Amino acid sequence: MTDEGIGMSAKTASHAFERFYRADNARESGSSGSGLGLSIAKWVVDNHGGTIDILSREGVGTRVTIAIPR
């Protein structure tokens, strides 16, 4: 999944899979959300023996890559 949103700093991306975590710039931008989506995705992927990675650049966007073994 890739977006072209506000992106995240490396520090923020390191917390992206924590429950209820929302970066300061996400709160200030007025975007809605609870901060649960990526933590739930990580839980599901982990429980299927997969991996989930995040690559983000501020002002460019974010890419989340999921791999689940067959």
Q: For the chain, give every domain's residue range.
A: 2-67
What sign has the CA pseudo-torsion 36, 4, 26, 12? Answer: positive
pTM: 0.72
DSSP-derived 3-state class of residue 62: strand
For 10-67, the pLDDT digits (tens) are: 888 889 899 988 776 555 555 666 678 899 999 999 999 999 999 999 889 899 999 9
CATH topology of domain 2-67: Heat Shock Protein 90 (3.30.565)
Q: 51 - beta bridge partners? A: 67
Closest-CA residue to 66 (of 23, 49, 57):
49
First to last CA, the chain: 20
